Amino acid sequence: MQEITVTELAALGLDKTIIDVREPEEHAQGVAPGVTLLPMSQFMEREAELPEEGPLYIICAAGGRSARVVAYLEQRGIEAVNVLGGMGAWSQAGLPVAAGPGGAE
């Protein structure tokens, strides 16, 4: 499984395709700028919304759910990378966080 740290991802630039698989209430607490919310609970039914070109960087709260989604995508032949530590590590590293939909700015 391909993995990347939050600081390595940030160094690549935030123009990458980052998919947040947290649930909407978690997403509202804060997100990495430019992420797309595709909750794990809806992932398989909304999979067609994913861009066809990879790699896809998959993030969650701590890295567990994103690892499961990456494993699933890899089985389907889609290039995906697990973001180690998730949004917890992202915030802890002092990287930019935007308010999610419905979240406080």
Task: Give the catalytic positions in this structure.
Answer: 60
If DSSP codes are grouped into helix, strand and coil, which group holds residue 43? helix
Return the amino acid letter for 47. Answer: E
Residue-wise burial string across 83-93, b where 16 or more C-beta atoms lie within 10 A, e elsewhere: bbbbbebbbee
